């Protein structure tokens, strides 16, 4: 049977972003096709492309849309007005925005009836009342004389459906028709759509992110990710055995009765579509991804009546995604998100009239480290050891003297630093100094989004409102200035500003040092929750080892510009091996006295990075120092399990 709607290789762009990229599907008469996926995947833009109602700057680049015998993309705008509502109609996500607030409901339905059926006067009013009866609006005659704001959300949605049906369309597009409704009203609206589809033999394109809605209403399902369809099949087959890793992770993110464990989250964000995308678009977030996934875009494969775009289709392990993610974390097999090799930052000292360089401050001297997505590396040490300089050099807020920095596998250079800065953001130690006192909070958050082009301009305010709620700030926070908040609230604003551009790495520079203990607990809980929810990686710069114990997975101990010990946080803090680390751990204030443990007092102060000591930099203060410590800087001694130390004494050479 010939499909009612056929879409072939549809490509839609907004500016340089291909928001719909090569999408193909079909819908038969009397069938419901569900388009499923996260926000930002291109579902609504696909629907708007079919209706040719794209926002400013949007254009259909290529492809074909056939509705019955009509070539939709080949029609002039005059003819397209007849198709909209007459052959193809749309129910929008937010009826209050789609309905005219200053025209009574009856007048808006009459307008559609006049355009598509040529009805006017009493005939139009009778037809409008019949439409309201058909969609289950009680007391339909009276409701025709009401304004949209006088109606509940469920009634407004029914009015939208009635207007869409006024032209007796062959295809109805329902874009998230129940998102803002409570469950009882949602059930009523879905019942109306199912009944009308059956009675009128309409085709229906149902756009949603709700798997429950899909299960109860769809005949076939298409899963969309980053502008592409990645899986398609019959509803029963799809729900029995989803084939794409993205589909499986959507299922496991769904709360189920009796499931008290943590839900599976999909780390990271839907990628930006205005850059060069290589390989599978889901690969950066996929726990099953292999090297091929990152370089080669997968084609379609047929698997038991389903179509799927995945190199691993049919060979995915039987274990759940949740078990797979846990296994990857436990085995540390994921690729590092951030990899730093041989980082050096030397500041020149200039004197005299011509500012001749007479020496260098070795603030950071040959630092190497790596952080995986979803993990926290704590960088600890005394003030002046170079911790903050490392953080700023990673973002090229300070230009490194030497070394390589890779973020997501791409080398950060001076040329591409602004582009990659969206992936890494910084939360500074003093939020009041880092927030512009003359800007409202909403404008502070908008500044980064505007500068880096994050999200559509019309949706940024809504995104900011959600972000402020996410970090636990009141609804009116966006309209206030930084001075109106407490220290803990200002730090939440600083965290929200960092998250506004959807980074993968957040560098936290002493974010709790100025906070009292109760507020510190709130910020630490917030950081941990955000990491679990968004899959963020943290470089946590601090001198507070008690904080490290709670938050960090790994710890690197820094002394005079160099890392002297690194490993899993629990192991380093429980059994430190470097004398400097032992002194730091012994000095941590504790409520319960540690039996048999005394504080190790270090002699003197940290030497100047302008003139570091020969040999091991720590030897002037080290109780274990020997002759070799004064002559040679120690190499790396591997202690197993990712734990290593630079110390002659540990290596048995003292």
Q: What is the pLDDT of residue 517?
A: 60
List, for residues 568-577, the tens digit of each pLDDT value. 998 998 899 9
- Band of the pLDDT at 317, cuts 50, 70, 90? low
Q: What is the pLDDT of residue 404?
A: 92
Q: What is the pLDDT of residue 179?
A: 66
Which of 504, 532, 552 delimits the end of a domain? 504
Rounded Cα distance, 240 and 306, in Å: 11
Q: What is the pLDDT of residue 70?
A: 92
Q: What tokens appear for 337 in the block?
A: 């998100």
More confident residue, 619 or 40: 619
Q: Is residue 458 part of a domain?
A: yes
Q: Is residue 408 part of a domain?
A: yes
Rounded Cα distance, 492 and 617, in Å: 38
Q: Is residue 41 part of a domain?
A: no
Q: Is residue 549 part of a domain?
A: no
Which of 504, 519, 554 delimits the end of a domain? 504
**Whole-number average pLDDT of the chain:** 85
More confident residue, 188 or 354: 354
Least confident of 120-134, 184-198, 205-219, 621-635: 184-198
Residue-number span of the structural domain to which 471 is assigned = 337-374+381-504
Residue with the two structure tokens 């980053």: 226
Rounded Cα distance, 503 and 579, in Å: 36
Q: What is the pLDDT of residue 333?
A: 41
Number of domains in the chain: 2
Q: Is residue 110 part of a domain?
A: yes
List, for residues 137-172, the tens digit of each pLDDT value. 888 888 899 998 888 777 888 888 888 888 888 999
Number of helices followed by number of strands (H, E) in the chain: 22, 24
Q: Is residue 608 part of a domain?
A: no
Which of 126, 151, 167 delimits the end of a domain? 167
Task: Write the CATH number for 448.
Answer: 3.40.50.300
Say whether pLDDT at 324 is over 60. no
Model-wide pTM > 0.95: no
**Integer angstrom CA distances of residue 470 from 228, 255, 465, 487, 501:** 29, 20, 9, 18, 14
Q: Is residue 13 part of a domain?
A: no
Q: CB-hemisphere CA count at 13 Å for 450?
A: 8
**Integer angstrom CA distances of residue 232 from 222, 242, 265, 326, 513:** 4, 9, 22, 28, 51
- Band of the pLDDT at 329, cuts 50, 70, 90? very low
Q: Is residue 404 part of a domain?
A: yes
């Amino acid at each position: 049977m010939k499909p009612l709607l056929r879409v072939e290789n549809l490509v839609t762009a907004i500016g340089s972003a291909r928001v719909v990229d090569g999408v193909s599907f079909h819908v038969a008469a009397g069938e419901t096709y569900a388009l499923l996926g996260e926000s930002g995947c291109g579902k609504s833009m696909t629907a708007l492309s079919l209706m040719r109602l794209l926002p400013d700057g949007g254009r259909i680049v290529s492809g074909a849309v056939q509705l019955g015998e009509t070539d939709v993309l080949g029609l002039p705008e005059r003819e397209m007005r007849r198709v909209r509502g007459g052959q193809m109609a749309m129910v929008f996500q937010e009826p209050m925005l789609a309905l005219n607030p200053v025209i009574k409901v009856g007048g808006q339905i009459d307008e559609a009836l006049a355009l598509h059926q040529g009805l006017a006067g009493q005939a139009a009013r009778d037809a409008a009342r019949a439409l309201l009866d058909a969609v289950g609006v009680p007391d339909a005659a009276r409701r025709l004389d009401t304004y949209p704001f006088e109606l509940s959300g469920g009634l407004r949605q029914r009015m939208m459906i009635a207007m869409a049906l006024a032209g007796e369309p062959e295809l109805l597009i329902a874009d998230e028709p129940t998102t803002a409704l409570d469950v009882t009203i949602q059930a009523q609206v879905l019942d109306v759509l199912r009944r009308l589809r059956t009675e009128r033999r309409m085709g229906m394109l149902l756009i949603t992110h709700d798997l429950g809605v899909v299960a109860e209403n769809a005949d076939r399902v298409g899963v969309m990710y980053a502008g592409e369809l990645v899986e398609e099949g019959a509803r029963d087959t799809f729900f029995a055995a989803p084939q794409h890793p993205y589909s499986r992770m959507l299922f496991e993110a769904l709360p189920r009765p009796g499931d008290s464990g943590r839900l599976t989250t999909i780390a990271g964000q839907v990628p930006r579509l205005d850059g060069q995308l290589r390989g599978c678009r889901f690969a950066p977030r996929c726990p099953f991804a292999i090297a091929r996934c990152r370089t080669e875009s997968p084609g379609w494969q047929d698997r038991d009546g389903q179509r799927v775009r995945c190199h691993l289709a049919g060979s995915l392990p039987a274990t759940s995604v949740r078990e797979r993610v846990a296994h990857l974390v436990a085995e540390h097999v994921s690729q590092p998100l951030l990899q730093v090799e041989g980082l050096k930052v030397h500041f020149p000292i200039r004197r005299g009239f011509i500012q001749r360089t007479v020496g260098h401050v070795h603030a950071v001297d040959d630092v190497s480290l790596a952080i995986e997505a979803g993990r926290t590396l704590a960088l600890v040490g005394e003030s002046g050891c170079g911790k903050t300089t490392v953080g700023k050099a990673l973002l090229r807020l300070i230009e490194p003297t030497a070394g390589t920095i890779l973020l997501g596998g791409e080398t950060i250079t001076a040329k591409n630093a602004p582009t990659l800065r969206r992936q890494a953001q910084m939360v500074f130690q003093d939020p009041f100094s880092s927030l512009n006192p003359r800007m409202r909070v909403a404008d502070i958050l908008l500044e980064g989004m505007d500068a880096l082009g994050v999200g559509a301009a019309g949706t940024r305010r809504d995104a900011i409102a959600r972000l402020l709620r996410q970090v636990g700030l009141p609804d009116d926070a966006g309209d206030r200035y930084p001075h109106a908040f407490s220290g803990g609230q200002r730090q939440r604003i600083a965290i929200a500003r960092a998250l506004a551009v959807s980074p993968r790495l957040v560098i936290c520079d002493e974010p709790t040092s100025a906070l009292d203990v109760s507020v510190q607990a709130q910020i630490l809980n917030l950081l941990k929750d955000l990491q679990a929810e968004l899959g963020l990686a943290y470089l946590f710069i601090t001198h507070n080892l008690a904080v490290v114990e709670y938050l960090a997975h790994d710890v690197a101990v820094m002394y005079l510009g160099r890392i002297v010990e690194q490993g899993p946080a629990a192991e380093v803090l429980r059994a430190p091996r470097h004398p400097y680390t032992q002194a730091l751990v012994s000095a941590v204030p504790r409520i319960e006295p540690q039996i048999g443990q005394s504080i190790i007092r270090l002699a003197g102060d940290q030497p100047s990075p302008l003139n570091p000591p020969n040999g091991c930099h720590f030897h002037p203060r080290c109780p274990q120092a020997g002759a070799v410590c004064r002559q040679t800087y120690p190499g790396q001694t591997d202690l197993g399990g990712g734990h290593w130390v630079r110390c002659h004494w540990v290596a048995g050479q003292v």
